[in-house]
Amino acid sequence: MVAELRAGFAAGGEARKNEAKLTEFLSSPRVTLLLADEQTTHHYASLFAQLRRQGTPIPTNDLWIGALAVQHDLPLLSADRHFSRIPQLLRLEP
């Protein structure tokens, strides 16, 4: 989530530099910012229930990211192992 990145920037020592890089990245025509909509909430709820049944809950923000990736049938590039708990999500490691 962009908010998580910006929160990290705010807490770090290179906020302006990192914000400039993020702004440049987001302005690329190859980048689309996905927003949660009503359909996303259905994916979120389904994943939440699945992870709860598995006994493998993940942090809320990761659940939103996973729900968006599943909703849009997109792979997710992440080193965060929480996402490996969602079998229907294709996770690519950096």
How high is the pLDDT of residue 33? Answer: 94
How high is the pLDDT of residue 58? Answer: 96
How high is the pLDDT of residue 35? Answer: 94
How high is the pLDDT of residue 94? Answer: 87
Closest C-alpha to 66, from 80, 53, 23: 80
Radius of gyration (Cα) for the chain, nearest Å?
Answer: 15
- Rounded Cα distance between 61 and 82, Å, is 11
- Rounded Cα distance between 66 and 48, Å, is 10
For the chain, which ranges sit under pLDDT 50?
A: none
Q: Is the pTM of this model over 0.75?
A: yes
Residue 91 phi, psi dihedral angles, 5° rounding? -105, 125
